[in-house]
Structure 1
Amino acid sequence: MRLRFILGLLCCLAGAAHAEPAKATHNKAYLTLIIDDLGQNLPRDRRVLALPGPVTTAIMPDTPHAAEFAREAHRAGKIVILHMPMDPATGPFAWHPDLPIEELEKRLNAAFKAVPYTAGINNHMGSRMTAQQPAMAWLMADLQRRHKFFVDSRTSAQTVGAAEAQKIGLASVSRDVFLDDERTEAAIFTQLQTAINLAHKQGSAVMIGHPYPQTLAVLERELPKLKAQGIDWIDIKMMISVRSNRATAAHGKDGVYR
């Protein structure tokens, strides 16, 4: 009996040695959230500040409450970025391909002055402007000088913004999912689930939304559930660190933006 017990124990130990080890923890899945188009409506925009986590506030310079809301967001501990108008956007701050660099610089300076406490910048619209290599190269060098980061909203597949940032080592990240191109709660919920699934698949996802009532309703309801879904909600600076300026498979190859 004793011999059979010992032989059985040795067989079990041998089997365990060849078994695949159990994973102690799951791979990390990170999400970050940017809300664009802020500064237009204070009561609405304050709902963004009340969201339960590190939301990034992207404030437009040509809005009536840009400076006031930037101060409120800063006091609330939120990261503030400049939501810079770019062609086809219009207005006194907007960048257009036919403008000389001197005028682009003048408009950028005025925009930063209109929105205090900015840590970085992302483009508002910009499907034409972000495809302009000379202007984007100049912008990334200027942001490097200002010690600010760049978020490529990727409003066009032809954007070269993130690629130019990567060339000079500027802290940068690219958007993965727009939450609310379709303004229904069902569609926004579906996009949020797309972002969650993408984060699990590739390790991280960058979401951009807007302060629409439908978007805020979904976020207020669903964001508190992220942790239970294995998601770490992190701020935009941490996301830049997590990605280390490398492109995801959707935006480039072998970490290099196309």
Structure 2
Amino acid sequence: MLLRALCVLLCCLAGFAQAEPASSSPHKAYLTLIIDDLGQNLPRDRRVLALPGPVTAAIMPDTPHATEFAREAHRAGKIVILHMPMDPATGPYAWHPELPIEELQKRLNAAFEKVPFTAGINNHMGSRMTAQPAAMAWLMGELQRRHKFFVDSRTSAQTVAAQQAQKIDLASVSRDVFLDDERTEAAIATQLQTAIALAHKQGSAVMIGHPYPQTLAVLERELPRLKAQGIDWIDIRQMISVRSNRAMAGHGKDGVYR
């Protein structure tokens, strides 16, 4: 009887030991990177194309090299998005709350013409504009019609852009971490580690940076080390698929945008 009980116990322990690695295996941690404000300086912007992975190129329409750089980025295999100016941004393409829908559409059409090969858009500035439910609802419907996705840069806590995208199930994601609000290599490296930690915590993180010399220096040094830190660097389309249009904890509750 004692021998039989001992055998049963040993079998149970063996089964537990076999099952343990599967249950304790680490979950996936995904990171995606968008670089904003491109199209102003070709030598500088080409450093972005040379980054070792699927960086998304967000190109401003009112820059001298917008069209040329969009073509270069497309040839380099990068995903191109329109970095759409929104109030308080100014200029011929910028959206402002007082503009009628007809003028918003005219400016959006012109911006898309200036930046070819776009797969989607994100907002440049836009703290006032992205808080306008009617305009954001119209924009999401227009992007749905054009088969393009939306990235909410979340330049304001009052944004309703991602919320309006979610309502019509438009493919979209929201930014989690700005890399370079403070333009020092030390601060940017810290923000990158913040994004990595967040990706491990919630499964994914969306980073936005700019083509500042300090940002590019940190990215050139640190991005090749992501795999060793347990991070899968994926492109923006893959991130949209991973998140399945659900809001992260910092953006809403139970997957629904606030």
The question of a shared fold, defined as TM-score above 0.5 by the shorter chain, is answered with: yes
Residue of structure 2 aligned with 1:23, choices 18, 21, 29: 21
Q: 1:214 maps to what in 2?
A: 214
After superposition, the C-alpha distances for 1:234-257 in whole angstroms (9 at most, x for unaligned) are 000000000000001110111110
Report the CA distance between 1:77 and its aligned residue.
0.1
Residues 3-152 of structure 1 aligned to structure 2 (within 5 Å): 8-17=6-15, 21-24=19-22, 25-152=25-152
Q: CA deviation at 1:11?
A: 3.0
User: TM-score, normalized by length of structure 1?
Assistant: 0.96
Percent of aligned pairs with the same residue?
82
Q: Deviation digits for residues 95-131 of structure 1, max 9, x if unmatched?
A: 0001010000000000000000000000000000000
Compute the displacement of 1:12 (Å): 2.1
SS in 2 for 1:27: coil
Q: Which amino acid aligns with 1:27?
A: H
Paired residue secondary structure (1:22): helix
Q: Which amino acid aligns with 1:50?
A: A
Structure 2 portions without partners, runs of 5+ = none
Question: Aligned to 1:113, what secondary structure does the other structure show?
Answer: helix
- Distance in 2 (alpha carbons) for counterparts of 1:133 and 1:10: 64
Give, as a single letter, the amino acid of the residue that structure 2 aligns with 1:31: L
Q: How many residues align?
A: 256
Deviation at 1:78, TM superposition (A): 0.1
Deviations 1:176-235 (A, max 9, x none): 000000000000000000000000000000000000000000000000000011100000
Separation of aligned partners in 1, 2:150 and 2:203: 20
Q: If the length of structure 2 is used for normalisation, what is the TM-score?
A: 0.96
Match of 1:165 in 2: 165
Equivalent position SS for 1:23: helix
Q: Deviations over 1:72-97 (max 9, x none)?
A: 00000000000000000000000000
Determine the C-alpha separation between the residues in 2 that align with 1:11 and 1:85: 67
Distance in 1 of aligned mates of 2:35 and 2:236: 11
Q: What SS is found at the alignment partner of 1:122?
A: strand
Structure 1, unmatched stretches of 5+, are none
Distance in 2, Cα, partners of 1:70 & 1:208? 18
